[in-house]
Amino acid sequence: MHIVIIGNGISGITTARYIRKMNSEHQITVISAETKHFYSRTALMYIYMGHMTYENTKPYEDWFWAKNRIDLVHDYVEQVDTSNKQLNMQKGDSIAYDKLVLAVGSKSNKFGWPGQDLPGVQGLYNMQDLVLMEANTKNAKHAVIVGGGLIGIEMAEMLLSRRIGVTFLVREKSYWSNVLPPEESAMVNRHIAEHHANLKLGTELKEIVADAQGRTRAVITNKGEEIACEFVGLTAGVSPNIAFLKDSGIETARGILVNHYLETNVPEVYACGDCAQFSEALPGRRPLEQVWYTGRMQGITVAQNICQERKPYQPRTWFNSAKFFDIEYQTYGTVMPKLRTGETQLYWEHADGKKCIKIVYDENSKEVIGCNTFGVRFRHDVWEEWLNEKRDLHYVLTHLRAANFDPEFYDKYEEDIVALYNQQNPNRTIQLKSKKSMFDMIFKRGVVNR
């Protein structure tokens, strides 16, 4: 059987690797026009900043693919002919398949702004974008980033590392406030200012203006302000990369529509990763989940459904992690921008304004629903266990030392957090478990897991 995978990101490569683990006979072909070999797309910013090279970002040596009999094709797919189970390629070839996996990722959003296609204007998603950014910022003195979120903050750090001034245009009243609660969003606002980026909140792009040579010269905001710049980064989100599927017979909406088995409406065609949209969202989840670890898990599910017993996609407890300049961010479970009915929270913030922990819980049962951390690291396995076991706030705070993941000589803040809770709840005070009891618990968990 010939299995063809379009896309060599984390979803496509995970699918290929797990198919090979489960079956030694299937022919596997991975098609990508981005790079010849799989690399860590999350490391793009570090290549630009000079911390890594492209070679450093490849998890597997180049000989890995031939050794595992995974064929790599470096080309664009121009048309998917599902009637004849054939792919028509840009270079003129055609590739037949028995089963097809679409792991084609996303593309940067454009919303029809005048001047959005000028030289010097771009998004940041893939290796081609990085190469273009190198060229577009070569002599730049100032840049404007349109939109917030995680890609925007990464681009700002990249530009500032080369002493290129940055102005942020963010239409919300606070940074990433459609995802972060007010306290955490305000922390990011302050941190951006500390890095000397000009954050213009409640401000939208109206137009990008060209110079006499036809390159980017300035932007004009919806408030009538003109900001001179040589580079404009469009980071107002991404959308599934599905334009080439027109007339394929594969149903799409915002993304490629799939059922809970990651199957499309066309037999023997699957989709996973950023491009996959569940026709019926899983309970408590979004129809599109454009996160690294969900893409990996979906790739495993597709491989299992191709090679073994058919099983639905069953994601683990929601989590994500990122970095806002110097502040690391983690989230576990469900922490909404605004508390929902029946929810309350314990919020602790360090005096330096760069560390915080928020625990959201049910105000009646006290069951913990989710957690955000900024500048403090928690252990993933511990928080996942607590959420799966529906632990209450008393248990979590009592055992909070077990979750700490900071290196040995870092400051610890569990005592401060428990002290804050006791101050707010003088009639229901709790006592933090000792370091020794936490060490014993972690050791036993490690022994059991092994």
Provide the residue ranges of all domains of the chain, joining segments of one domain with +: 2-107+239-307, 121-236, 319-449
Listing from the earlier edge strand, what are the strands of the sheet with 343-349? 319-324, 327-333, 368-374, 356-362, 343-349
Cα distances (angstroms) measured from residue 311 to each of 22, 259, 261:
15, 11, 6
Please state, in angstroms and rounded to a whole number, the distance separating the CA atoms of residues 21 and 68.
9
| Cα–Cα distance measured from residue 12 to residue 209, given in angstroms and rounded to the nearest whole number | 39
Where do we find the tokens 């900043």? 49
Q: Using the structure block, give the residue that is written with the tokens 């109206």.
A: 206
Mean pLDDT of 24-32: 97
pLDDT at 284: 84
Query: Residue 350 and residue 337: Cα distance in Å, rounded?
Result: 20
pLDDT average, residue stretch 21-38: 96
Task: Please name the fold of domain 2-107+239-307.
Answer: FAD/NAD(P)-binding domain (3.50.50)
User: Residue 443: which pLDDT band, with cuts at 50, 70 and 90?
Assistant: low
Q: Do domains 2-107+239-307 and 319-449 have the same CATH topology?
A: no
Cα within 13 Å of Cα(186), Cβ side: 6
Counting Cα atoms < 13 Å in the Cβ hemisphere of 173 gives 4
Superfamily name with CATH number, domain 121-236: FAD/NAD(P)-binding domain (3.50.50.60)
Which single residue is written with the structure tokens 């408030």?
223
- What string of H, E and C letters represents the secondary structure of 61-126? CCHHHHHCCEEEECCCEEEEECCCCEEEECCCCEEECCEEEECCCEEECCCCCCCCCCCCEECCCC
Q: What is the pLDDT of residues 36-71, one digit of tens each?
A: 999 999 999 999 999 999 999 999 999 999 999 999
Q: What is the pLDDT of residues 351-402, one digit of tens each?
A: 999 999 999 999 999 999 999 999 999 999 999 999 999 999 999 999 999 9
Q: Model confidence over 283-320: pLDDT tens digits?
A: 888 999 989 999 999 999 999 999 998 999 999 899 99
Instruction: Tell me: pLDDT of 413 over 50.
Output: yes
**DSSP state, residue 57:** G
Record the tokens describing residue 190, joined without a space.
């302050």
Number of continuous H segments (helices) and E segments (strands) in the chain:
11, 25
* 8 A C-beta contact, residue 235 and residue 152: yes
**pLDDT, average across residues 210-214:** 97
Cα dist from 334 to 194, 196, 267, 281, 320, whole Å: 29, 32, 35, 16, 11
Q: What architecture is domain 319-449?
A: 2-Layer Sandwich (3.30)
